[in-house]
Amino acid sequence: MPSPTPKPLISVILPVYNVKDHVAACIRSLQAQDLCDFEALVIDDGSTDNSADVARKAIAQDPRFRLVQQSNKGLSGARNTGLDLAQADYIAFLDSDDQLAPDYLSQLWQALEDTGADWVSCGIRFCFPDGSHSDHSAIHGQAARHSSGQRRTYPLTTWQQAIVHFPSAWNKLYRRSLIADLRFREGTWFEDHEFYYQAAARSDHLLHIEAPLYLQTRAREGQITGSDSDRVFEQFPVLDRIKALMATAPRADADAAFEQIASRLLFERSTALRAPERRARYADACIRYLDRHGLRYCPDWDPHISAAWGLEMTGTLPLSVVLPWSGGDTDLLKISLNALAQQGAPGREILILCNSQQAETQASLLAADHPEARVLRHAEAGIAAACAAGLSAARGRYLNFLVPGDALGEMALHDWVDGMLTAEADFAVSAYRLGLEGETYHAAIYCDDAQILQPLAAADFTYSPELALALDGQISPKLYRRSFLIEAGLGFGIGALPGWQLALEAALLAPKALYFSQSGCDVNQSDAALAQYAPGRAAAAFVRSLDQLTARLQAAGLSSKLPQGWQRRLFARALRQRMAQIRAPLPRLKLGLLCLTAVWAALRRGLTRTQSPLDPGEGQRIATLLSIEAQLRRRP
């Protein structure tokens, strides 16, 4: 008789549903594993695109793969089919839009062999459509613990120990003896959660490898976790079943743990909701669920849970983002809107302010894909007028003014709003990147001493006049408490430097401020983006803006608070920025004319009579230009 075929070491269950653009890469990553002894159960769950054909072609003649086609039963049904067919003593789950590092199976299997553990997890690499990625440990509150490659054993003797781990089926390898008769509940979303907690109830520890070996695709169209759908309400019965499981399993801290995990999961579902009506209904359902079970919303056990969601559940809109759009290159507006769409939190409205029919038409077409956006018309031209109109229309507790073309980082608004909310601050400033790519960053404060900046990032503070003067005037990387702006009567300056007035006045008047040292914004440096501030960017426009700023500060009684030489320092800063914007043709001629114009303007305003300090690293050319009169006075 022929000898029976030996069973594989690992069974990998790979559900497939309408992922024709991803499934081939997923299968190739499995074929590239350095541990070859596995079977792959590819379960096509009634795909309506040609995912099955793509999968079949990718599998080719590889005998380790088995393609099973069934009518649609959902992700749970596909996984259950795989579990029923699996032959190996070790089980892994791989979603068909994700991929594995080449040593994923070998590292996880070896860890179980060496330790005798029942299951092991690993870190995650989140992969985005633009090719970028970020890594996470897959442990809440310990996101950065993902690169050492070490194995760690995490006890699961209390429920609070269990809830810190990602409740995902993927990124783990299981002994079949642990899963045994466990199956995924069919007909519902968020099926991983219940499966994870049932497995946790059967084990007293989870082994973890600190390496991002599971590569998860993020922001894919059609992804369940990113679907703006009424199916988010299915989270509530899932939570009820988790609560019942925690209450009956022999683990301590069930009540406290459930309060924490309910807070997390209710917030996580909100991050996919952008339609205002659905989001409001879900927020109301969340607060009623918490009240019904006598629970508090407790986000403070993990910085990735938004405190602002608690604000939103009470009916308060956390944030308004104002985009001043005068028309033109619509790619600029697309950049900003698409970056905002990647922000999972906080809840917000986006107000696009237009002062012409052309701009309104352009904005309306783009806003159609962004349900949280509204296009508003105002009368006057310029960034200052648009932002003033946006401030009048805004409803959010906090306010960000975002220049089209600038792109906020994925977690920027979450971090800024939560920081402001926790500290009860009035004004926040973030470091930023110059340009949409590259490694040129600006601290947002002109200071060459890191020992001054480090304490600012550690706690809330009040700006000294010297520090306020050092503050950069970029518009986008800042956040304001809306009522602070209104009560203090603050607004933007007119002309080529509109953000300088608001930044300086806010710094001088804010009782409590925050500083974020990690870059939260990419500030577009293209000609089209810079032209929004002052078409042509003539030197005279910068000079007029500075004159208006001086008059404003004097009228408000704030100029006397600033250090001596403050006008000269701002003039030098504006001159340097204008120099950096000079383009071909004839850049040397343009630079020469700019220098002559600047010297004449500085002489007329008495800014060359002293050699008061300029920004750190200002450069000798500008320092010389603005010190001509002082140098002549010293000569015999």
The reply to whether 104 and 92 lie within a common domain is yes
| pLDDT-above-70 percentage for the chain | 96
Burial of 617 (0-12, 13-18, 19+ CB in 10 A): exposed
Q: Cα–Cα distance between 260 and 255 in angstroms, integer?
A: 9
The answer to whether residue 350 scores a pLDDT higher than 80 is yes
Q: Cα–Cα distance between 425 and 53 in angstroms, integer?
A: 56
Three-state secondary-structure class, residue 354: strand
Three-state secondary-structure class, residue 216: strand
Instruction: pLDDT band for 626, please (50, 70, 90 cuts).
Output: confident
Strands (E) across 180-300 are located at: 205-217
Token pair in block for residue 399: 């306010």
Please state the rounded mean pLDDT for residues 77-100: 97
At 155 the pLDDT is 97
How high is the mean pLDDT of the chain?
A: 91
pLDDT digits (tens, 9 = 90+) for 403-412: 999 999 989 9
Q: Is residue 557 one of the residues assigned to a domain?
A: no
**CA dihedral angle for residue 188, residue 243, residue 317, residue 477, rounded to 10 degrees:** -90
Domain total of the chain: 3
Q: Is residue 30 one of the residues assigned to a domain?
A: yes
At 581 the pLDDT is 77
The reply to whether 175 and 262 lie within a common domain is no
The answer to whether residue 320 scores a pLDDT higher than 80 is yes
Q: Cα–Cα distance between 212 and 192 in angstroms, integer?
A: 20
Token pair in block for residue 52: 């099955």
At 420 the pLDDT is 97
The answer to whether residue 351 scores a pLDDT higher than 90 is yes
At 220 the pLDDT is 44
Instruction: pLDDT band for 106, please (50, 70, 90 cuts).
Output: very high
Q: Is residue 439 one of the residues assigned to a domain?
A: no
Q: Is residue 18 one of the residues assigned to a domain?
A: yes
At 225 the pLDDT is 53
Which residue has better confidence, 11 or 590? Answer: 11
At 2 the pLDDT is 54
Instruction: Show Cβ contacts of residue 348 under 8 Å, excluding neighbours closer than 6 positions.
Output: 317, 318, 319, 320, 321, 340, 372, 396, 413
Q: For 609, which DSSP code?
A: S
The reply to whether 149 and 255 lie within a common domain is no
Q: Which domain holds residue 296?
A: 230-305
Cα 192–Cα 196–Cα 201 angle in degrees, nearest 5: 155
The reply to whether 294 and 172 lie within a common domain is no
Q: Cα–Cα distance between 604 and 106 in angstroms, integer?
A: 74
Q: Is residue 428 one of the residues assigned to a domain?
A: no
> How close are the terminal C-alpha atoms of the chain, in Å?
113
Q: Cα–Cα distance between 401 and 320 in angstroms, integer?
A: 9
> Which of 305, 327, 347 delimits the end of a domain?
305
565: left (phi over 0), alpha (psi -120 to 50) or beta: left
Token pair in block for residue 571: 């003039």
The reply to whether 194 and 268 lie within a common domain is no
The reply to whether 235 and 288 lie within a common domain is yes
This prediction's pTM: 0.89
Q: Is residue 54 one of the residues assigned to a domain?
A: yes
Please state the rounded mean pLDDT for residues 535-541: 64
The reply to whether 184 and 288 lie within a common domain is no
Please state the rounded mean pLDDT for residues 369-380: 95
Three-state secondary-structure class, residue 539: helix
Instruction: pLDDT band for 619, please (50, 70, 90 cuts).
Output: confident
The reply to whether 21 and 57 lie within a common domain is yes
Tracing tokens 């910085």 back to the chain, one arrives at 303
pLDDT digits (tens, 9 = 90+) for 322-332: 999 999 999 99
- 3-state SS, one letter per residue, for 388-448: HHHHHHCCCCEEEECCCCCEECCCHHHHHHHHHHHHCCCEEEECEEECCCCCCEECCECCC
DSSP per-residue string spanning 65-104: EEEEEE---HHHHHHHHHHHH--SSEEEE--TT-EE-TTH
Instruction: pLDDT band for 496, please (50, 70, 90 cuts).
Output: confident
The reply to whether 210 and 245 lie within a common domain is no
Please state the rounded mean pLDDT for residues 291-295: 97
Instruction: pLDDT band for 146, please (50, 70, 90 cuts).
Output: confident
| pLDDT-above-90 percentage for the chain | 74
Check if the beta carbon of residue 456 is closer than 8 Å to that of residue 515.
Answer: yes
At 471 the pLDDT is 96
Instruction: pLDDT band for 506, please (50, 70, 90 cuts).
Output: very high
Q: Is residue 625 one of the residues assigned to a domain?
A: yes
Instruction: pLDDT band for 222, please (50, 70, 90 cuts).
Output: very low
The CATH number for 193's domain is: 3.90.550.10
> Which of 178, 202, 226 delimits the end of a domain?
226
Q: Cα–Cα distance between 385 and 389 in angstroms, integer?
A: 6
Q: Is residue 388 one of the residues assigned to a domain?
A: no
The answer to whether residue 621 scores a pLDDT higher than 70 is yes
At 410 the pLDDT is 85
> Which of 177, 195, 226 delimits the end of a domain?
226
Instruction: pLDDT band for 223, please (50, 70, 90 cuts).
Output: very low
Q: To 10 degrees, what angle do helices 566-580 and 539-555 make? A: 150
User: Bridge partners of 11?
Assistant: 39, 91
The reply to whether 195 and 249 lie within a common domain is no
The reply to whether 237 and 188 lie within a common domain is no
Which residue has better confidence, 142 or 99? Answer: 99
Please state the rounded mean pLDDT for residues 232-255: 93
The reply to whether 207 and 138 lie within a common domain is yes
The answer to whether residue 416 scores a pLDDT higher than 60 is yes
Is residue 346 reached through a cis peptide bond, with omega within 30 degrees of 0 on the bond before it? yes
The answer to whether residue 586 scores a pLDDT higher than 80 is no
Strands (E) across 280-421 are located at: 319-325, 348-354, 373-377, 398-401, 407-408
